[in-house]
Amino acid sequence: MLDKQGYPAILHAFVVMLAAGEEYDRSPIPVTREEFMSAAVLHDVVEDTEYTLAYILEQFGPVVANIVDGVTRRKLEKEVYVDFIVRAWQGEASRRLKRVDVTINMKRIHTLPKSEQGIRDRYNRALLILDAKSLEEIQAIIRRPRQTQQVGARQSEGSLL
């Protein structure tokens, strides 16, 4: 299975897993490093394959399944992207993992066709929400016009998969 850039999709999962390990080492969270890295490598599985959250729960346990659920957009339920990001924000492990994933995705936007690079605005907004300290701050971000929602260029540079 290839991603939009033509790379094997598993490469992105491994890059996110390694970055999640670094994130965990910088500031541990109330799950084990193994659980956090397992959730990281599995973060796109439910969205991109036939495997279900029930399968993740059965194979990897409730902690990993909960984190994966927090970073999985519920497309069948037509979950709006901003609602998905707010849901990810609600759990510390899912918030930090989603932030790692979005940051890595920002670093490879330049490899997308020009027609798809508009996703940068969505990712900038997601990062602002994921960094918010309160629901009130998130509500202010959501109400703010998108043009004012810029995250530093440092997160969009680089060539990570």
The domains found in the chain, sorted by start residue, are 9-155 (1.10.3210.10)
Per-position pLDDT tens, the chain of length 161: 887 777 888 999 999 999 999 999 999 899 999 999 999 999 999 999 999 999 999 999 999 999 999 999 998 899 999 999 999 999 999 999 999 999 999 998 887 777 777 788 899 999 999 999 999 999 999 998 865 455 543 344 443 44
Determine the pLDDT at residue 138: 96
Distance of CA 47 to the CA centre of its chain: 12
Which of 50, 141, 39 has its CA nearest to residue 100?
A: 39
What CA–CA distance (Å, rounded) separates 101 from 97?
6
Determine the pLDDT at residue 130: 98
Helix axes 81-89, 135-143, angle to 10 degrees: 160
Q: What pTM does this model have?
A: 0.86
CA angle 113, 124, 52 (to 5 degrees): 75
Report whether 85 contacts 126 (CB < 8 A). Answer: yes
